[in-house]
């Protein structure tokens, strides 16, 4: 009987801690960009995904495997990025809440890599994300990301 009460108390305590802490399944970082923008990158971390950052870049992992790596670009970097090369195929040109993007693949003799070129709305900042996995894993990880200006 005493073990049942302790177990019930433990479950209740954990439940209350989750309620009070918000028990979210997301992570985010706000990056201070050289142009003065502050860009918030958020990730839905359910199903084993995690968001890391190091020296101005961010990484999306699932378990121990890195799926995406992202870096920030200026408006000029966005405008100058080549999407029409012979090894580049645009897969999607779409908008999500807060940003628009191109999803494309680059193929050479040895490999196909998947990338996103993103323009964050209401900012002067772009993001280039390289996928380190196959197309379906890259897309699944990307769908969990959101980008927004944090200083507007």
109 SS3 class? coil
- ∠ CA 53-55-61, nearest 5°, is 25
In this prediction the pTM is 0.82
* pLDDT at site 143: 96
Report pLDDT digits (tens) over 72-116: 999 999 999 888 888 999 999 999 988 999 999 999 888 999 999
For 29, counting Cβ atoms within 10 Å of its Cβ (0-12 exposed, 13-18 middle, 19+ buried), the class is middle
Tens of pLDDT, residue by residue over 24-60, are 699 999 999 999 999 999 999 999 999 999 999 999 9
Q: What pLDDT, on the 0 to 100 scale, is given for residue 85?
A: 85
How far apart CA 90 and CA 103 sit, in angstroms, is: 6
């Amino acid at each position: 009987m005493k073990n049942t009460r302790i177990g019930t108390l433990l479950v209740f305590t954990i439940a209350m801690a989750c309620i009070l802490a918000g028990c979210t399944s997301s992570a985010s970082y706000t990056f201070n960009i050289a142009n003065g923008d502050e860009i918030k990158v958020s990730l839905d971390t359910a199903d084993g995904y995690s968001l890391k950052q190091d020296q101005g870049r961010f990484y999306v992992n699932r378990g121990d495997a890195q799926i995406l790596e992202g870096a920030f670009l200026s408006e000029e970097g966005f405008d100058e990025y080549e999407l029409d090369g012979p090894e580049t195929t645009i897969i999607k040109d779409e908008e999500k809440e807060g940003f628009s993007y191109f999803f494309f693949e680059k193929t050479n003799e040895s490999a196909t890599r998947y990338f996103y070129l993103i323009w964050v709305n209401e900012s002067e900042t772009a993001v280039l994300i390289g996928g380190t996995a196959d197309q379906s894993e890259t897309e699944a990880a990307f769908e969990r990301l959101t980008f927004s200006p944090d200083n507007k």
